[in-house]
Amino acid sequence: MSWIMTHLEIVVIVLLTLLAAVVILQQRRTPQSTAAWLLAIIVLPWVAVPLFLGLGFRKQSTRYSPVHFLKGDTGGPPPRPVHTLDATMQHFGLPAAAPGQNLRLLGDPVAAYEAVMALVRGAEKRLDVLFYIVSNDATGVAFVDALTERAKAGVKVRLLMDRLGTFRGPAAALRRLQAAGGDVRFYSPLLQVPGSGHLNLRNHRKMIIADDARVFSGGMNIGAHYLGAKALEDGWADLAFLLEGRAVQSFGDVFRSDWEVASGEQLEPTPMVPAHTGGNATVQLVPSGPDIAEDPLHDGLIRALHLAESRIWLVTPYFVPTEALGAALTIAARRGVDVRVLVPDRSNQRLADFARGAYLRDLQEAGGHALYYQPGMIHAKAGVIDNMGFVGTANFDVRSMLLNFEVTLLIYDAGTVGSLCDWFEHLSEHCAMEKPPTGLFRKVAEGLFRLGAPIL
């Protein structure tokens, strides 16, 4: 009987290997990623096949319906693009850039906390909230308690959190919110059917939408590291924003899509009728992830980097770009563009610090600059490319660009882009410029990591 069992095991492994290979070849991946997965499955099928079934799926149209945007079609011609990148995003099917918006950048943790609490307490009809992390600390508890107070006042409160990010959330405060009538859900459970590919796809989006009219979003989660009533000595430098205007509609569309996946409920679209804000900002929301048919953020940034003429200034906690993004940066530096990448001297992810070394060294050898923020951790995800800017939830790494659910706000008006530049230059005053450590062992290890990165 033992030989029969051995034969059956071989047959099962071969069938699973062939199935995984067929799926891989049908997915939209880089050639390096496809080759890396196929090689791993052929060499170590009993390891690679289960790993692929748990982690390998990147786009799953059957599980994630594409986000449906209410574009407010008036029957006239499509809006004239305000920027080359705006035209690119419209070709991807995303809503056009919206002028006349009110936009306030928030780089101070106390100011951000006060803005968040004012937004929550001022809501009269509905609060739709989505975060990767809601921490079990004073900030997290105060935030959830504020939601609870609004629920008691009759405001419809929906709170959605990523299950891995909020693995240890403020449980008691969340129970109080549910008891008050708030609806609390978790995205992407840790225990799920093998082969769903969902475990590796985290919802990294962050937003608070009040009454379909105002939104808070950006890099900040809810926790004392990011924002709070008092700034911590070891608090993280971050960037968020408050937005008011018709561009808020796109945030609502994204939230509705995520809520339907997590809850199974079909929410009725609620077209907003914004008042004239009198604002001067021109912005465009670009979501990315498994629920977006292609990769508009990744591909759009590549196009913007290749078209850049004067400057490319990036801020990111983790710098592990795709090969296409990394190549676009080094080519821009060789063309004479002022390329600067600002990262924390030491982040909260030591592996990411190690992995970035080869990419930053390539950039510096091409004439670009790596800036290492000295005071502590920087968690902001933002940048300026010539006369446009962006701020959002997506790190400049493979995971954010090609795997996670993210939202990024593109900014086209000169005033806000100027404010982003001022913020960047202020951070730069606290940075050192140096090359990543080198050595034969380190270079070999970085090369191995870089070889394995495409397996995503």
Question: Residue by residue, what is the 3-state secondary structure of the chain?
Answer: CHHHHHHHHHHHHHHHHHHHHHHHHHCCCCHHHHHHHHHHHHHCHHHHHHHHHHHCCCCCCCCCCCCCCCCCCCCCCCCCCCCHHHHHHHHCCCCCCEEEEEEEEECCHHHHHHHHHHHHHCCCCEEEEEECCECCCHHHHHHHHHHHHHHHCCCEEEEEEECCCCCCCCHHHHHHHHHCCCEEEEECCCCCCCCCCCCCCCECCCEEEECCCEEEEECCCECCCCCCCCCCCCCCECCEEEEECCCHHHHHHHHHHHHHHHHCCCCCCCCCCCCCCCCCEEEEEEEECCCCCCCHHHHHHHHHHHHCCCEEEEECCCEECCHHHHHHHHHHHHCCCEEEEEEECCCCCHHHHHHHHHHHHHHHHCCCEEEEECCCCECCCEEEECCEEEEECCCEEHHHHHCCEEEEEEECCHHHHHHHHHHHHHHHCCEEECCCCCCHHHHHHHHHHHHHHHHC
d(CA 183, CA 394): 27
Residue 423 phi/psi, 5° resolution?
-65, -45
Question: Would you identify the CATH topology of the domain 98-282?
Answer: Endonuclease; Chain A (3.30.870)
Residue-wise pLDDT for 92-149, tens only, equals 999 999 999 999 999 999 999 999 999 999 999 999 999 999 999 999 999 999 999 9
pLDDT in tens, 405-433: 999 999 999 999 999 999 999 999 999 98
Q: How confident is the model at residue 195 (pLDDT cuts 50, 70, 90)?
A: very low
Between 189 and 448, name the one with better pLDDT: 189
Q: Would the CA dihedral through 224, 313, 374, 297 be positive or negative?
A: positive
State the pLDDT at residue 20. Answer: 61
Task: Quote the pLDDT of residue 74.
Answer: 47
Domain limits, the chain? 2-55, 98-282
pLDDT at 351: 84
Average pLDDT over residues 81-96: 96
Question: Is residue 11 pLDDT above 60, yes or no?
Answer: yes
The whole-number average pLDDT for the span 257-263 is: 93
Other beta carbons less than 10 A from residue 179's beta carbon:
11
pLDDT tens digits, one per residue of 157-184 = 999 999 999 999 999 999 999 999 999 9
Q: Is the confidence at residue 276, as pLDDT, over 70?
A: no
| Range name among 198-202, 285-289, 322-326 with the lowest pLDDT average | 198-202
Mean pLDDT, rounded, for 207-231: 96
Model pTM above 0.75: yes
Q: How high does pLDDT run on average in the chain?
A: 87
- 8 Å CB contact between 308 and 386: yes
350-365 and 323-334 helices, crossing angle to 10°: 40
